[in-house]
Structures are given as C-alpha cells and as structure tokens.
Amino acid sequence: MSGDVHLLIRIASGDETALVEFHRQYVNLVFSMALHVLHDHATAEEVTQDVFLTLWRRAALYDPARGSVKSWLLTIARRRAIDYHRRQAHLPLRMDEIAVGQQPNVQLILPDLDLRDAVAALPGDQQECVTMVYFGGLTHTEVAERLHVPLGTVKSRIRLALRRLRQTITVFSEDT
C-alpha cells in the first residue's frame, strides 16, 4: 500500500500530523492548479486551503481504484478553482495564459515531453476549446457562444484533440 494511502487513512481518523505531512507533500501541486485556473494569488490560496480542509473532513472519499492520489488532488483542485471562479466572475480568466503545453521554459508537474509536444502540435483552435472547457470550466455550449462558432464545430474540435492525445499516450505507454 502506498505511503499516500497510509497518510489518508490517518487523516481520515483525525491525525493532525498526517495532515501536515500530506500538506507539505502536496500543497505546491494544489496551489499550482488553483493558480493556473484562477490567475489570482489570493483566491488560489483560498482554494488551496479549502481543498485541504475538505480532505481533512472527507479523506475517505479517495478511492484508490480510480487513480493516484496526485491525480485525484489535481481533479479536486481544478474543480474547486472553477467553482470559485464561477462565484467570483470578476476574476480574470485568460485563455491565452492557461493553455496547456505552451510554456517551454517552466517546470511542469509531469515533464512528459512527448505529451507536451503532442499538445503543442494540436491546431490552435482545438487547444483553445479543450482549455476553455477543462481549465475554464465552460460547457461546450458556452464555448461555442464565446467563440461564435457552431456547436458541432466545438464538439468535433474537442473530439479530434482528445483522439490525437489518446493515440500519443497509447503509443508512449506501449513504447515504455
């Protein structure tokens, strides 16, 4: 059993030192996602706080069958940040900055160059749609409205993008 899961069990039973240990290990990850979505330092801190408080209260909601603790935390952080953004609509949500895979000079959480290249190789309009939905928290209908393109166009852009990335990931994992 992984150390993360041990920590979560201790957290679920109310062990503060386990929470501190877990926080030290993952606070940068959670904060990075919050900042990525929100582009607002103060709100990103609030989201981070909120994520760890939720974890303290409901560590039991982690299900190892569904993936690693890390990806679980990233999902929670992304969703929570999007919630905050929706509640405080004045926050800037700058699609150009939150596009994934376009920052060659920064350290990524997962330095998977193949995937980064694959994302960068996607047509710009596909990247844009994926980013607006996934990190911007918009539905595809909202994306179509904002971009002034037909709904079917948004749908097929997203499908084509994910299909391409799925192929990359499959090829990559078969190679290794």
Q: Within positions 15 to 44, which residues make up the interface with other proteins, using CB under 8 A?
A: 16, 19-20, 23-24, 27-33, 35-36
Hey, what are 130's tokens?
């994926």
Q: Within positions 44 to 83, which residues make up the interface with other proteins, using CB under 8 A?
A: 45, 48-49, 52-53, 56-65, 67, 70-71, 74-75, 78-79
Least Å distance, CB 5 to other proteins, is 7
Hey, what are 165's tokens?
């990335």
Least Å distance, CB 8 to other proteins, is 6
Q: What is the dihedral of CA 67, 17, 55, 76, to 10 degrees?
A: -50
| CA–CA distance, 34 with 85 (Å, rounded to integer) | 10
Would you say 91 or 114 has its CB closer to other proteins?
114
> CB of 132 within 8 A of CB of 103?
no
Least Å distance, CB 18 to other proteins, is 12
Q: Which of 28, 29, 21, 27 is nearest to 4 (CA)?
A: 21
Q: Within positions 104 to 163, which residues make up the interface with other proteins, using CB under 8 A?
A: 106-110, 112, 115-116, 119, 130, 133-135, 137-141, 143, 155-156, 158-159, 161-163
| CA–CA distance, 73 with 133 (Å, rounded to integer) | 19
